């Protein structure tokens, strides 16, 4: 059964929250981390509710509502999200309050909203949706896990329209902690020069991207998701190559039929080597693109690249800012996405045009 992307909504460090535009204006940063460009939330969220919501919840709700409106769907048959770290800001507020107030007279709101499933729950409350609701917290494959669950529901005919998304945020405190662990570059760099900075560490980012997936064909659909797969801690390049070969074989497509390969290069010299090995050998002479210079690195960055792939297939246009090499001028029918998070969680997504 075919799985279609029917609607999209994306809030990121780029101007992506309006579906009418597609990376025409690129936001350039010289900061420690990339923060989302936020829309005017009152379009979808009442001002009284806004006051009690943290930033990540507002981003998630807005992106979800945009995707539902794009698909002309009022209430989905299921709401599934993936997040690596959940509502960090609310967690920090609650822990700080515990320390400052000696664990007395605590405001319960930050604690209630600090759980990972808060975003999906808040979307359901706003929509008055009582259907299947689930959140996956699987580190670097959280979004892919949500995507696989959505696809299974659709293929089993347990649902016709599923709202699925990936959401993660960055805060100053979480940035400082993860920087001490060596996740990020020591000095602030220009995000558009990410791959030119040949040092350890990447650039931190965040985002909220939601999609309406359907098993019903329609002219308004953006693309089809043919297959999704994940694998864990490969031993070496050969293991990665074998996993990709098996993935393409199961999807019944040959590497020669892939028109564009989007890679999760993040500028970290320790982890980017596998991408370059594939480009120079297994994927030789293909069209390549990348995306983390636009959104930064975070657990669910693959939700941003699914949005990118859907827009490319729908518009048949590859923005220059994401191109890695000189592109062959031909129709884009099949896109392969390969991403990994610190060489631990690896994922593959195969998308095709409608």
Domain that holds residue 246: 223-352
Interval 101-151: pLDDT, tens: 887 777 777 777 778 899 999 999 999 999 999 999 999 999 999 999 999
Same domain, yes or no, for 192 and 251?
no
Q: Which helix (H) or strand (E) holds 304?
A: helix 302-315
Give 143-201 pLDDT, tens digit per residue. 999 999 999 999 999 999 999 999 999 999 999 999 999 999 999 999 999 999 999 99
Query: Are residues 59 and 126 located together in one domain of the fold?
Result: yes
Strand partners, 288: 261
Residue that terminates a domain, selected from 214, 237, 262: 214
Neighbours of 257 (CB within 10 A): 12
How far is 274 from 234, CA to CA, in rounded Å?
A: 11
How far from chain centre, in Å, is Cα 97? 31
Question: What does the pLDDT look like over 226-272, one tens digit per residue?
Answer: 999 999 999 999 999 999 999 999 999 999 999 999 999 999 999 99
Reported pTM: 0.95
Could you tell me if 185 and 248 lie in one domain? no
- Last residue in a domain, options 214, 239, 273: 214
Q: Tell me, what CATH number does 259's domain have?
A: 3.40.47.10
Cβ-based neighbour number of residue 43 at 10 Å: 9
Buried b (16+ CB within 10 A) or exposed e, 81-102: bbbbbbbbbbbbbbeebeeeee
Do 281 and 140 share a structural domain?
A: no
Contact (CB, 8 A) for 332 and 258: no
Residue after which a domain boundary falls, among 153, 184, 214: 214
Residues 50 and 182 in one domain: yes
pLDDT digits (tens, 9 = 90+) for 290-338: 999 999 999 999 999 999 999 999 999 999 999 999 877 789 999 999 9
d(CA 354, CA 352): 7
Q: How many domains does the chain have?
A: 2
Shared-domain flag, residues 238 and 175: no
Tokens representing 133? Answer: 């609701």
Q: Which two tokens stand for residue 353?
A: 């045009």
Using CA atoms, how far apart are residues 240 and 262, in angstroms rounded to an integer?
16
């Amino acid at each position: 059964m075919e799985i279609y992307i029917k609607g999209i909504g994306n809030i990121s460090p780029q101007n992506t929250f309006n579906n009418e535009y597609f990376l025409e204006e690129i936001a350039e940063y010289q900061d420690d981390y990339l923060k989302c460009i936020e829309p005017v939330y009152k379009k979808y969220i009442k001002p009284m509710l806004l006051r009690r919501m943290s930033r990540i919840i507002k981003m998630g709700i807005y992106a979800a509502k945009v995707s539902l409106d794009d698909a002309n769907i009022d209430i989905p048959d299921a709401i599934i999200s993936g997040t690596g770290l959940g509502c960090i800001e609310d967690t920090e507020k609650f822990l700080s309050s515990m320390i400052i107030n000696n664990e007395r007279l605590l405001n319960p709101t930050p604690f209630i909203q600090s759980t990972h499933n808060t975003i999906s729950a808040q979307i359901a409350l706003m929509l008055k949706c009582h259907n299947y609701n689930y959140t996956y917290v699987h580190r670097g494959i959280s979004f892919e896990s949500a995507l696989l669950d959505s696809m299974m529901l659709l293929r089993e005919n347990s649902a016709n329209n599923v709202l699925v998304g990936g959401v993660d945020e960055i805060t100053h405190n979480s940035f400082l902690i993860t920087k001490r662990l060596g996740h990020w570059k020591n000095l602030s760099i220009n995000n558009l020069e990410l791959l030119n900075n040949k040092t350890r560490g990447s650039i931190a980012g965040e985002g909220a991207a939601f999609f309406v997936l359907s098993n019903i064909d329609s002219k308004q659909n953006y693309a089809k998701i043919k297959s999704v797969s994940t694998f864990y801690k490969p031993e070496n390049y050969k293991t990665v190559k074998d996993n990709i070969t098996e993935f393409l074989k199961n999807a019944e497509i040959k590497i020669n039929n892939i028109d564009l390969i989007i890679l999760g290069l993040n500028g970290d010299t320790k982890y980017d080597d596998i991408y370059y090995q594939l480009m120079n050998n297994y994927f030789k002479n293909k069209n390549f693109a990348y995306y983390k210079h636009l959104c930064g690195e975070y657990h669910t960055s693959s939700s941003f690249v699914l949005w990118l792939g859907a827009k490319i297939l729908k518009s048949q246009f590859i923005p220059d800012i994401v191109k890695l090499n000189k592109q062959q001028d031909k129709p884009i029918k099949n896109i392969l996405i390969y991403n990994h998070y610190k060489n631990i969680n690896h994922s593959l997504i195969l998308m095709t045009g409608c």
